[in-house]
Structure formats: structure tokens, C-alpha cells
Amino acid sequence: MKYAYVYYRIDPLQAGLAAARIDALLETMAMHCSQPPRRLSRCDDTATWMETYEGIADFAAFAAALNSAVQAVGCATFTQAERHLECFFPG
């Protein structure tokens, strides 16, 4: 099983819109994970967000589904710069 972490900055003036859309994204992506995905904010910079996805069996399929869902939700509307996707596995 693999774990995915996505981090990015949001426009603070659009935090409400961002939260609603990211929560919808997490709900859509839950079927690809063994645990419910989560949205987090950085402690010292609330405009930096992270999504965590745990228990991914097929990372390539997950990444393709995430890319499609991100476009469908319109993440570019409220993010500043790009989203960074990282993959980890238990060592």
C-alpha cells in the first residue's frame, strides 16, 4: 500500500471556496484509499494546505483519477502556483 501527500498554497481570500471544493475532491477520491482522505492546514501558514491519502493499492490509477478530479473541481481557481503530489510507502 502507498500513501499520497499533496501540498499547495491557496488564495486566503478564497478559503471558503477552497474548503468546499477540496472536501468534495476528498469525497470523490475516498474510493481509491483504505482510509478517508484528509485536508490539513499548515500550523504556521494557514494558506498552505495538504491533502493526505492512505492505503492506495494502484498509485498510477490513483494519480490519474486525482488529476481528473482536480480539473473537474476547478482547483486552479483558488490555488497559487502548482499542487505537489508525493508518493510514500512504509519502509
Per-residue pLDDT tens over the stretch 49-91: 999 999 999 999 999 999 999 999 999 999 999 999 999 999 8
> Which residues lie below 8 Å from residue 38, measured CB to CB, with a gap of 6+?
26, 51, 52
Q: Which of 53, 48, 37 is nearest to 86 (CA)?
A: 53
Separation of first and last alpha carbons in the chain? 11
Average pLDDT over residues 42-55: 98
- Under the banding of pLDDT at 50, 70 and 90, the label for residue 13 is very high
Per-residue confidence (pLDDT) for residue 91, from 0 to 100: 87
d(CA 31, CA 27): 8
Domains of the chain: residue spans and CATH: 2-88 (3.30.70.100)
